[in-house]
Structure 1
Amino acid sequence: MIQFGRATSEADLNQILDLQRQNLPEHLSAEERVKEGFVTVSHTLNLLKVMHDVCPHIVAKSNESVIGYALSMHPKFAGKIEVLWPMFDQIEAIRPKVRNYIVMGQICIAKAYRGQGIFRQLYQTMQAAVQPEFERIITEVDVVNTRSLGAHYGVGFEDLATYESGGHQWKLIVL
């Protein structure tokens, strides 16, 4: 049985980092990146902890093992991850100004558990956990990550902007 909720321990955070490492582009073949998707940012345990202390991350667990996660990133961390600076610039440029939002900093599901509705349930759990403090969840997806983009649209995300940064084209999307 898969359980959904907030990460509750450093062991959870370390398991998030393990799953993250497995799904970075440098650990996947080109075919896997197209078919399965990938994650872009590599976090440190310290940064993950600090982010978690402000707004706890959401995890899916099977037998006490983290098999999926959705990272919560409060806007006050906008300057902490260089690759995300352009995303926060885009959010700030939107008019009318976007207020009352949290950034979903990264979502990932272990390969053996994909296609089972875990992605959708992670977002439903996140929405329930962050409301009423945050009314919107914003994230960005590399347009070449078609699996992720399709999954996000499938749970109700809508486009805010498309922009280029670091040689990649990004979709800034909101739920």
Structure 2
Amino acid sequence: MEITYSTAKSNQELEQILALQQANLFKNVSEEEKKWEGFVTVEHTFDLLKDMNEVCPHTIAKFGDEVAGYALSMHPSFGDKIDVLEPLFDLLRQEDLLKNEKFIVMGQVCVSKNHRKKGVFRGLYEAMKTHVTPEFDFIVTDINAKNTRSLQAHLAIGFDQIAHFSADGENWIVVSLKTK
């Protein structure tokens, strides 16, 4: 069986995204795991995840019926829905970093432990680029500066650093990927 990529279409897939998120949340992983495997910061509710998916579907990697990874799509209209992401949206609006280009924020990416180091991370972004083009010119996200694993992975697949900011005692690195 191989990994397939698509957009999230069912409540069951959204529930699996949330389960994978819980397993990799900053507060739920050891310091050693954070260093070597990375972590996710934001904890979504089912309702918010579903609302986001209805505006711009999330990209998922599946191994059979199992969600093996995800890249969440966060339309700019959701910029005030998650406290920890508000500073990113404020920065993008104020600094005009993308020179009036249309962008989608990748709200979080995660690959299950069983499917890491198999190209799923890259595959998620390739599929996401396909799904969001032609509506968006860039995929943008911010990465906690402590999450060196995630930053290295994003840079390795072609993201560029475009800004830095601090919020709530944390340092963040903003990266972008051209979709076309």
Normalised TM-score (structure 1): 0.98
Query: How high is the sequence identity, in percent, across the aligned residues?
Result: 47
One-letter amino acid of the counterpart of residue 71, structure 1: L
1:55 counterpart letter in structure 2: C
Please give the alpha-carbon distance, in whole angstroms, between the structure 1 residues aligned to 2:36 and 2:94: 33
Write out aligned runs for 1:14-163 (5 A): 14-95=15-96, 97-163=99-165
Instruction: State how far apart, in whole Å, the 2-side matches of 1:116 and 1:98 are.
Output: 35
Aligned length: 175
- In structure 1, what is the Cα distance between the partners aligned to 2:114 and 2:86? 32
**Deviation digits for residues 53-100 of structure 1, max 9, x if unmatched?**
000000000011001000000000001001111000111122463431
User: Cα RMSD between the aligned structures?
Assistant: 0.9
Are residues 17 and 141 of structure 1, via their aligned partners in 2, closer, same or farther at CA, if it must alter by over 3 Å?
Answer: same
Q: Is the 8 A contact 1:91 1:98 kept in 2?
A: no
Q: Distance in 2 between matches of 1:166 and 1:151?
A: 25
CA positional deviation for 1:27:
1.0
Give per-residue Cα distances to partners, 1:84-137, cap 9 Å, x unaligned: 110001111224634310000000000111111100000000000100000100
Unmatched tracts of structure 2, length 5 or more? none
Which residue number corresponds to residue 4 of structure 2? 3
Structure 1 residue runs without a partner (length 5+): none
Q: Give the Cα–Cα distance (whole angstroms) in 2 for the partners of residues 99 and 82 of structure 1.
A: 24
Q: Secondary structure at the match of 2:36?
A: helix
Structure 2 distance, partners of 1:27, 1:158, is 29
Q: What residue identity is the alignment partner of 2:8?
A: A
Question: 1:36, CA displacement in angstroms?
Answer: 0.3
Q: 2: distance between equivalents of 1:27 and 1:107?
A: 16
Shift of 1:25: 1.3
TM-score by length of 2: 0.95
CA distance in 2, matches of 1:91, 1:34: 28
Distance 1:68 1:18 in 2: 11
Three-state SS of the structure 1 residue aligned to 2:172 is strand
